[in-house]
Structure 1
Amino acid sequence: MHEHDRDRAVLAAVVFAVLFSQVLLYPGVATLVETLGADATTSAFTATALDASMWFLVAEFAAYIAFVGVWGLASDATGRRTPFIVAGSLAGAVGYAALALVASIGSIPFEGVLLVRVFQGAMTIGAFSLTMTMLMDLEGGHGRNMGAAGIAIGLGAALGAPVGGQLTELAPLAPLLAAAGLLVCVGGLVSFVEDRAPDNRRTLGALVGGLRRRPTLSIPYAFGFVDRLTAGFFALVGTLYFQTRFGLDPGTTGLLLACFFAPFALLQYPMGALSDRIGRTIPIVVGSICYGVGILAVGAASSVPIAALAMVLVGVLGALVAPATMALVTDIAVESERGVAMAGFNLAGSLGFLGGFLVGGTVAGAYSYGLAFLIVGGLEIAIAIVAVPAFLRVSANRAGRFGPGDRNDA
């Protein structure tokens, strides 16, 4: 196996482990927050099971938003990735273990639980974002590298959902303990990969200035925001919707979520390679429109089999969009600013996840699940339509990158 192929596989395994540990908590989140004391308080955060679940997920992604840029700036400024990934993964493991410990103590208010969750999220995002940046540093084709990241993300989510549901039925705290163990493994695994961060260190001001000179990064950031918004929506609202609409238990809910995540994962690498050949425009723009229509179909499903088929369709379309969007970030960013550029993409994605939790949870709670699906699916379609003129204008100016995708290092 070529060294780049081996390193790509190892880094993809690290991304998988981080996402798998995160998604383990989702199918049983309502049970988990109850175990962590949500029912024992009169906090505004815990008025209902949906509220408590929403704020538990929001806390992690608020930390992602606040700290992802810090990790990227630190990595680019020092010209190192590995030490930061090791530190973030081990500290994230401590955060997951501390949450499990909270349940045994039993005297910490839910606000304290949310603070621990913030710490865990702030640490975990460093390991996640910088591992993706190490994939950006590899040669071999940006679409392939981001396809490897995408398949790891998708597989982590696809397997994390059903495994998390089964672990929750075994013990409510089991997903937390499993997540802590996985992040310890991440800290060891990443040390086997050469750190290829560019040697030319730069000041923080120079890094931020470099991003300002590349406004075209706003295109993949915008699509990344909406794509992750839909993922956050399914993680919270989709989970509770399936359980409420069809009376499913956490284990079966995890399997239904896997109907999306399995094709989403398995098709990432070939779809990323496809975008290297045909360019980013068709996969991102056309794929996003179809993806939004698929979300509307899930919300309109009248039975579990139909919902499962619609989730499979959404997964296929998501696999078309995701690696091309991430590869577009690599196409635009210069080598010395990749950590910050990917941090910006993950910042946009984390804001999207946060929006998915807040918008989806608020609309579903105040109005209906049907309206929530309509808004989220409509946003996915709208961003694609609105972005077409800017996308095609930049594509014409940078045909080598936005047309057939960056063959220089393929």
Structure 2
Amino acid sequence: MVTRERGALASVVFTVLFAQVLLYPGAADVVASFGATDTETASRWFLAAEFGAFVAFAGVWGVASDRAGRRVPFIVAGALAGSLGYAALALADVSFGAVLALRVAQGAATIGAFSLAMTMLMDLSDDHGKDMGAAGIAIGSGTALGAPVGGQLTELDPRAPLAAGAVVLAVAAALAVRIPDRAPDGHGDPLRRGLRTLADRPALGVPYAFGFIDRFTAGFFALVGTLYFRNAFGLDAGAVGLTLGLFFAPFALLQYPFGRLSDRVGRTAPIAAGSATYGLAVLGVGLAPHLRVAQGGMVVVGVLGALMAPATMALVTDLAADSERGVAMAGFNAAGSLGFLAGIVGGGWVAEQHDYLTAFLVAGGAELALALLALPALVRLDPDA
């Protein structure tokens, strides 16, 4: 029963990520279809608008779920509202400012389905590494398949990924309806008190910091990586999607075994080993003299990300009280969304103002610096304390 529920919840996480990543390879084409002239800047804000909404609304969904003692109705509502948001964007004939407003509304809905599906995996069992490994393989698989499929759809029509996203999120809602709700009893605390949970548990800042680092890379490659492979190597949207898949495929396939590994050896070793070399691997992609070398570097980044990600998410589960899981995972996803925003906006700005090599130097250096700052706190942390 637990195995079947784990697979169903992972499928919900997969569908949400798949819909999201469909847009990445052809983001410049999508914004051009809305009349944007500076497609690099416009695509940066188009992606950032969604993640800004993720940051703003993840905690609201988490507290509401913890307070009600239910997950499934919120996941269904978020997925259906997100589906409507994607459909509205696919059909929109409005100014680009209105498009960004729609994008914010769509993101505010979608994060509820995503974050609470991951929270339901937290509720599932005491094998936190295995449960978060299932979440990780769903995240990685959704992004691995979403990138190449989105690239191919973009070549058919720039807005085809939006229409596909609407369909996929409706499927996520249908999947969620059939999953048993194992949420702990609701606590009835108001929103402000629920959000203070994060301030009351400063130890959660450790996995949040590593979650920020992990998603920073995803955001950086979603925009800067897409433009880099297009402009530096002359790839079209389809080929860019396949190249991004070289990162996301090992990131997906290795999450479950690495998550189980963290149940056996603890969270510290996988997180520390991955973070110590992650920034160097990112930098190596930017320094690659040839396309094949850069593509090989993408595989290495994917492997290191897979080593860290499930252990980091499992650490959140280790530290959170039963009645705080929704808001704790929401905080993790908010930190990750901030990382993604920093990767998109910061990385895109550096690339625009300077060049791609400088952007990769800044990104790799920032990864290394953040990892070095967070590692001592990780080593001191005892999840059972």
Q: For this structure pair, what is the TM-score category when the shorter chain's length is used for normalisation?
A: over 0.9
2:6 to 8, 26, 29: 8
Aligned counterparts of 1:250 and 1:92: Cα–Cα separation in 2: 25
Residue 144 in 1 paired to residue 142 in 2?
no
| Structure 1 residues 12 and 374: alpha-carbon distance in aligned structure 2, compared to 1, 3 A threshold | same
Alignment pair present for 1:109 and 2:99: no
The percent identity for this pair of structures is: 62
Change (3 A) 1:115 1:210: closer
How far did residue 227 of structure 1 move? 1.1
Q: How does 1:391-406 map to 2 (within 5 A)?
A: 391-395=378-382, 398=383, 400=384
Q: CA deviation at 1:55?
A: 0.5
Is the 8 Å Cα contact of residues 316 and 328 (structure 2) preserved in structure 1? Answer: yes
| 1:180 pairs with 2:166 | yes
The CA deviation at 1:209 is: 4.0
1:392 Cα offset (Å): 1.7
CA contact (8 A) 1:146 1:327 kept: yes
Counterpart in 2 of 1:219? Answer: 206
User: In structure 2, what is the equivalent of residue 75 of structure 1?
Assistant: 65
- Aligned-pair RMSD on alpha carbons? 1.1
Instruction: Deviation per CA, 1:270-291: give whole Å up to 9, x if none.
Output: 0000011111111112211211
Confirm or deny: 8 A CA contact 2:223 2:344 kept in the other structure: yes
* Pair 1:191–1:95, CA change in 2 (3 A): same
**Counterpart in the other structure of 1:55:** 45
**Of 36, 47, 52, which aligns to 1:38?**
36
Verify: 1:338 aligned to 2:336, yes or no.
no
Q: What SS does the corresponding residue of 2:262 show, helix, strand or coil?
A: helix
2:59/2:195 contact within 8 Å kept: no
d(CA) in 2 for partners of 1:154 and 1:248?
23
Q: How does 1:180-199 map to 2 (within 5 A)?
A: 180-199=166-185
Contact kept, 8 Å, 1:77 with 1:202, in 2: the verdict is yes
- Within 5 A, what are the aligned runs for 1:242-253? 242-253=229-240
- After TM superposition, the runs of 4+ consecutive aligned structure 1 residues lying more than 4 A away are none
Show the counterpart of 1:45. none
Letter in 2 for 1:394: L
Q: Secondary structure at the match of 2:188?
A: coil
1:168-196 CA-to-partner distances (Å, cap 9, x unmatched) read 11111110111000111111101111101
Inter-partner Cα distance in structure 2 for 1:254 and 1:149: 22
Q: 1:271 aligns with which of 258, 274, 285?
A: 258
Residue 97 of structure 1: aligned partner: 87
1:12 maps to a residue whose letter is A
Instruction: State how far apart, in whole Å, the 1-side matches of 2:216 and 2:198 are.
Output: 23
Q: Which amino acid aligns with 1:365?
A: E
TM-fit CA distance, 1:49: 1.6
Q: Which amino acid aligns with 2:187?
A: R
> What runs of 5+ residues in structure 2 fail to find an aligned partner?
none
Cα-to-partner distance string for 1:5-28 (whole Å, 9 max, x where unaligned): 000000000100000000000101
Describe the superposition over 1:342-400 as per-residue Cα deviations: whole angstroms up to 9, x where unpaired: 000001011111111111000000011111111111122112211222222223xx4x5
Q: Give the drift of 1:212.
A: 2.6
Q: Would the aligned equivalents of 1:56 and 1:114 in 2 still touch at CA under 8 Å?
A: yes
Question: 2: distance between equivalents of 1:348 and 1:58?
Answer: 14
TM-score (normalizing by structure 1): 0.92
| Matches for 1:253-332 after TM superposition, within 5 Å | 253-332=240-319
CA deviations 1:54-79 (Å, max 9, x no partner) are 01001111111111111001000111
Number of the residue aligned with 1:168: 154
**CA deviation digits over 1:269-323, x for unaligned, max 9?**
0000001111111111221121111101101111111111111111111100100
1:366 partner amino acid: Q
CA contact (8 A) 1:80 1:197 kept: yes
Match of 1:230 in 2: 217
Match for 1:88 among 55, 78, 84?
A: 78
C-alpha contact 1:289 1:380 (8 A) present in aligned 2: no
Kindly indicate whether residue 342 of structure 2 is the aligned counterpart of residue 352 of structure 1.
no
The number of residues matched between the two structures is 384
Alignment deviations for residues 71-96 of structure 1 (CA, whole Å, 9 cap, x no partner): 00100011111111111100101100
- The unaligned stretches of length 5 or more in structure 1 are 40-47, 402-410
Is the CA contact 1:4–1:140 (under 8 Å) kept in the aligned structure 2?
no
Match for residue 202 of structure 1 among 180, 188, 192 = 188
Distance apart, 1:140 and its partner CA: 4.6
* Distance in 2 of aligned mates of 1:37 and 1:69: 34
Contact 1:286/1:384 (8 A) holds in 2: no
How far did 1:202 drift?
3.0
1:133 matches 2:116: no
Q: Which has the larger displacement, 316-325 or 381-390?
A: 381-390
User: TM-score of the superposition, structure 2-length normalised?
Assistant: 0.98
Matched residue SS, 1:38: coil
Contact 1:229 1:353 in 2 (8 A): yes
The yes-or-no answer on 1:118 pairing with 2:108 is no
**Which residue identity is paired with 1:392?**
V
Residue 350 of structure 2 corresponds to: 363
